[in-house]
């Protein structure tokens, strides 16, 4: 599935099952909430925190998909083509950082 297809599929789902998009501000708040849930799992799985019993049933890939879902909703609502935006962002990073990280002794 391309990013554009994902944007279309989310839009169709919202129109069929979700009634309408939540407001942009509500979705921004939901995005932060979902990122927080992902951060909690990352801290327990890869960081120093131990899992709580309530965390054991949480799926890392599902948490990442929740973040992506809400980001796609925000893109759809604000008219952002994420596929094009990502291409431009990669180009920007390549032009700006083509040697920066290669010359960073901290990464070697």
CATH number of the domain encompassing residue 83 = 1.10.287.1080
Domain count, the chain: 1
Tallying the residues shown for the chain, one arrives at 108
Q: What are phi and psi of 42, to 5 degrees?
A: -60, -40
pTM of the predicted structure, to 2 decimals: 0.90
Please list, residue by residue across 11-34, b when 16 or more beta carbons sit within 10 angstroms of its beta carbon and e when fewer do.
beebeeeeeebbeeeebeebbeeb
pLDDT, residue 79, reads: 98
User: 28 is in which domain, residue-wise?
Assistant: 3-107
The pLDDT tens digits along the chain (108 residues) read 999 999 999 999 999 999 999 999 999 999 999 999 999 999 999 999 888 887 778 899 999 999 999 999 999 999 999 999 999 999 999 999 989 999 999 998
């Amino acid at each position: 599935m391309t990013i554009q297809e994902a944007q279309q599929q989310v839009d169709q789902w919202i129109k069929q099952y979700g009634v309408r998009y939540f407001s942009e501000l509500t979705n921004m708040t939901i995005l932060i909430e979902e990122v927080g849930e992902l951060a909690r799992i990352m801290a327990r799985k890869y960081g120093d925190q131990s899992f709580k019993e309530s965390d054991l049933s949480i799926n890392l890939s599902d948490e990442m998909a929740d973040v992506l879902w809400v980001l796609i909703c925000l893109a759809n609502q604000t008219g952002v083509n994420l596929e094009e935006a990502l291409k431009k962002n990669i180009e920007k990073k390549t032009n700006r950082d083509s040697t920066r990280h290669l010359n960073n002794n901290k990464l070697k």
